[in-house]
Amino acid sequence: MSAFDAIFIGAGQAGPFLAARMASTGRKVALIERKYLGGTCVNAGCMPTKALVASARTAHVARRASDYGVVIPGEIGIDMKTVQGRAEKVTLDARKGLETWFSGLDSMSVIYGQGKFEDPNTVVVNGARLTAPQIFINVGARPSIPDYPGLASVPYLTSTSIIHLTVVPRHLVVIGGSYIGLEFAQMYRRFGAEVTVVERGSHLASREDEDVSDAIADIIHAEGIAVQTEATGLSFRKTSDDIEVTTGIGTIVASHVLIATGRQPNTDDLGLEAAGVETDGKGFIIVDDSLSTNVTGIWALGDCNGHGAFTHTSYNDFEIVAANLLDGADHKLSDRIPAYALYIDPPLGRVGMTERQARASGRPILVSTRPMSRVGRAVEKGETQGFMKLVADAETRQILGAAILGIEGDEAIHGIIDAMNARTPYPTLQWSVPIHPTVSELVPTLIGDLRSAS
């Protein structure tokens, strides 16, 4: 039995930072990771995929060079091995940086292996028993694979495996028309693949308001990506050379299939029942406002607790727990305002409630929209797809939510995120003086156009 002050299971974007902070104060900590440091973000999520998105955008801009008076002789080609190698290097450099950092912390032990609870204070890894009064679970999530007829017999891709492709698919069929699926669909279309998105719902990115979903669909269609919505009865069959994907609409012949139908927590092999830790029906660990589980001394951070499947929300989990345990603060998970981005091009930046959610709350709301074609920065860059949208409470004058679908929307949304976190009434933000020419300069105008929603 090896005794520690704290044990961390999983090395994603929350636990390791808390472990490092504890170790820097002299606490003896164990960080258990079964595969790679950095979690999904570093190894199979944000970093490699956004590196791929950058390569895809470069190809797209190069093909449009003549629109800007730039002449590039010949066709624009894709060296997929170099594209993939660049993304892999981004991952390896980040992972190496974490290894170097942690190796310099004398009181931190990094242990590679599968950790499993023996009881509420004991974790077994590689046959060794570790004990600590505080245990933090940060095991993340993985792609969820539906039990479609025939799927098990075909060589499908997931968001984890597709980043290792070194060829451009002839025809990529993406199952799932939400955030992950749309990013890969546009990316591989720009690499030169024929792409079809198959979505069982009536809209792409159905979590968004219908006008935002429709605008996303317009962007996807404009790039030559085929879309099938309300696709039911999916089945798969491997032929000698292809994969046949049958929907209620017909059969699609694909060279590659990407399953992008959501993610599930990596909690099924942790022995949580031995520790008495409760999960919900989907396997997410149930936590309270301080990210504590139902078992005293055990916390769950990041994707595995079901409170935001993003790097920034995972990191904020670390910030909440660190502040409360080490700094005597009282921060709450419920104080967090949800914000995220969809990294198609142009991107969608989102914060707070959708209009649909605001209406369902029963409060009197104001809504304003502005097309990106009215934004000088977008016009100057020749990228005017999308629009801005703001939702506010008519009585409290608080901003309830916003969406910026357009060039630099993932950056411009932060002015609204900051205002919402500061509880700044929208009339105050309306009188800010943004820099010209930027996307953000339209925010005061957007606020000035707020009108009662009928």
Same domain, 257 and 270: no
Same domain, 110 and 166: no
Same domain, 32 and 106: yes
* CB-side neighbour CA atoms (13 Å) of 285: 34
Same domain, 76 and 132: yes
Same domain, 167 and 257: yes
Domain boundary among 236, 261, 286: 261
pLDDT in tens, 20-72: 999 999 999 999 999 999 999 999 999 999 999 999 999 999 999 999 999 99
Note whether 179 and 46 are within 8 A (CB).
no
**How far is 71 from 73, CA to CA, in rounded Å?**
6
Same domain, 46 and 125: yes
**pTM higher than 0.85, yes or no?**
yes
Domain span at 233: 151-261
Distances (CA, A) of 63 to 55, 170, 192: 13, 19, 11
Same domain, 289 and 253: no
Domain boundary among 280, 301, 335: 335
pLDDT in tens, 147-202: 999 999 999 999 999 999 999 999 999 999 999 999 999 999 999 999 999 999 99
**How far is 256 from 254, CA to CA, in rounded Å?**
5
The owner of tokens 């016009």 is 379
- Give the CATH number, domain containing residue 223: 3.50.50.60
Note whether 117 and 123 are within 8 A (CB).
yes
Tell me the residue type at 299.
Answer: W
Q: Which two tokens stand for residue 223?
A: 């790039």
Q: Which residues contact 5 (CB under 8 A, 6 or more apart)?
A: 22, 27, 28, 29, 132, 133, 134
Same domain, 34 and 177: no
Tell me the residue type at 167.
Answer: V
Same domain, 359 and 391: yes
Based on the residue annotation, tell me whether 414 is a catalytic residue of this protein: no
Domain boundary among 297, 319, 335: 335
Same domain, 109 and 211: no
Domains contained in the chain, number? 3
pLDDT digits (tens), the chain, 454 positions: 899 999 999 999 999 999 999 999 999 999 999 999 999 999 999 999 999 999 999 999 999 999 999 999 999 999 999 999 999 999 999 999 999 999 999 999 999 999 999 999 999 999 999 999 999 999 999 999 999 999 999 999 999 999 999 999 999 999 999 999 999 999 999 999 999 999 999 999 999 999 999 999 999 999 999 999 999 999 999 999 999 999 988 999 999 999 999 999 999 999 999 999 999 999 999 999 999 999 999 999 999 999 988 999 999 999 999 999 999 999 999 999 999 999 999 999 999 999 999 999 999 999 999 999 999 999 999 999 999 999 999 999 999 999 999 999 999 999 999 999 999 999 999 999 999 999 999 999 999 999 998 7
**How far is 372 from 442, CA to CA, in rounded Å?**
9
Point out the catalytic residue in the list 256, 312, 414, 436.
Answer: 436
- Torsional sign, CA 83, 88, 94, 100: negative
Same domain, 173 and 155: yes
Same domain, 136 and 27: yes
Q: Which two tokens stand for residue 103?
A: 């190796």
DSSP, residue by residue, 333-401: GGGPPPEEEE-SSS-EEEEE--HHHHHHTT--EEEEEEEGGG-HHHHHHT----EEEEEEETTT--EEE
